[in-house]
Amino acid sequence: MVVVGQFVVGVVHARIILESDVDARTDQLIRDGLCICFPEDTSVYSKTRAWNGYDPAINAVIERRGKVIAHAAAIDKNIIVGSRNLRVAGIMNVYVLFRYRKRGLAGRVVDAALHEAALQGYDLGLLFCKAWLETVYAKLGWKKITDRAITRVVEGRELPMREHIVSMYYPIRLEELPPGDIHLRGNEW
């Protein structure tokens, strides 16, 4: 789909860029969009797309007029759920530039990143968001994780997930999240 004024014309597909193929220009365009959409985090995104030290493995972008107008990234992360080691696509750095919002572009880039993760054999998608975004992701098929402890590791210390963060998963190879508590083997992304 192409946005013209307030109207949507045609179909726009998100382009997948593996991290090894991200050139300097694309890196800068994505970081520019992150700085615009997350001004409180400009000190990080002006230098890197890595959040909490996690580099993306998969990038999904929608471009228009020389800008990346929508983006989602996925990290390649191994976590423990109960007694199982799982490979998850950790969704992060999702944005849509303000003038292009409310057109389904966030869903397109997240879906594209998850499709690539499925092709690469990931078990699940996993993300952490603020409460107001829960309904957005639920409409895309994400399921809220409840009734289990989630442990993150910050500077070598094991800590519970922050209370105001909503944790969600998306079925890829596995249809359901296995039983048991979750250990992220690192900080959240």
What are the structural domain ranges in the chain?
Answer: 11-183
Average pLDDT of 19-35? 97
pLDDT digits (tens, 9 = 90+) for 89-124: 999 999 999 999 999 999 999 999 999 999 999 999
Residues 6+ apart with CB under 8 A from 19: 55, 56, 57, 58, 59
Q: How confident is the model at residue 129 (pLDDT cuts 50, 70, 90)?
A: very high
Q: How confident is the model at residue 1 (pLDDT cuts 50, 70, 90)?
A: very low
Q: Above 50 in pLDDT, residue 9?
A: no
Which one is predicted more confidently, 152 or 9?
Answer: 152
Average pLDDT of 8-15? 70
With vertex at residue 167, the alpha carbon angle to CA 90 and CA 106, rounded to the nearest 5 degrees, is: 60
Q: Which fold does the domain 11-183 belong to in CATH?
A: Aminopeptidase (3.40.630)
Q: What is the mean pLDDT of the chain?
A: 94
pLDDT digits (tens, 9 = 90+) for 52-82: 999 999 999 999 999 999 999 999 999 999 9
pLDDT digits (tens, 9 = 90+) for 115-128: 999 999 999 999 99
Cβ atoms 82, 181 nearer than 8 A: yes
Q: Above 90 in pLDDT, residue 5?
A: no
Q: What is the SS3 string spanning the chain?
A: CEEECCEEECCCCCEEEEHHHCCHHHHHHHHHHHHHHCHHHHHHHCCCCCECCECCCEEEEEEECCEEEEEEEEEEEEEEECCEEEEEEEEEEEEECHHHCCCCHHHHHHHHHHHHHHHCCCCEEEEEEEHHHHHHHHHCCCEECCCCCEEEEECCEEEECCCCEEEEEEECCCCCCCCCCEECCCCCC
Predicted pLDDT at 189: 95
Predicted pLDDT at 10: 57
Predicted pLDDT at 6: 41
